[in-house]
């Protein structure tokens, strides 16, 4: 049997011996307290961060753009402001050697 890194609400409520509605209410409290949403990068797997365009959409001069296509200085500023999870031009580990001084590959 293949390992599944998830459980249904029915599975969790049975495991903890609580009603599904109680489980749902507590889950909402946790989401609200942590300010978690479906797009909160802090709570997503790395592959989901890279695949999700919503994580990378930012507003620049009134336009919504994908931060991955912006120059390095703009990416760095967005990262410093906490708008994006990391600087795409530098990669997740921050050590991309192919970035030039102009901020373009």
Q: Tell me if residue 86 falls in helix, strand or coil.
A: coil
Sequence spans of domains, the chain: 9-36, 42-90
pLDDT at residue 73, rounded to an integer = 93
pLDDT at residue 1, rounded to an integer = 54
Pick the closest to residue 53 from 70, 66, 40 (CA basis).
66
Per-residue confidence in pLDDT tens, the chain, 105 aa: 566 677 888 999 999 999 999 999 998 999 899 888 776 777 777 788 888 888 899 998 899 999 999 999 999 999 999 889 889 888 777 665 444 444 444
Q: The pTM is what? A: 0.56
The whole-chain average pLDDT of the chain stands at 82
> How many angstroms separate the CA atoms of 64 and 86, rounded?
18
């Amino acid at each position: 049997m293949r390992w599944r890194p998830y459980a249904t609400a029915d599975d969790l409520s049975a495991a903890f011996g609580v009603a599904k509605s109680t489980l749902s209410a507590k889950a909402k409290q946790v989401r609200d307290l942590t300010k978690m949403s479906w797009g909160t990068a802090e709570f997503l797997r790395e592959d989901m961060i890279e695949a999700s365009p919503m994580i990378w959409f930012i507003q620049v001069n009134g336009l919504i753009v994908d931060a991955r296509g912006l120059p390095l200085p703009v990416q760095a500023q967005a990262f410093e402001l906490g708008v994006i999870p990391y600087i795409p031009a530098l990669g997740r580990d921050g050590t991309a050697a192919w970035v030039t001084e102009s901020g373009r590959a």
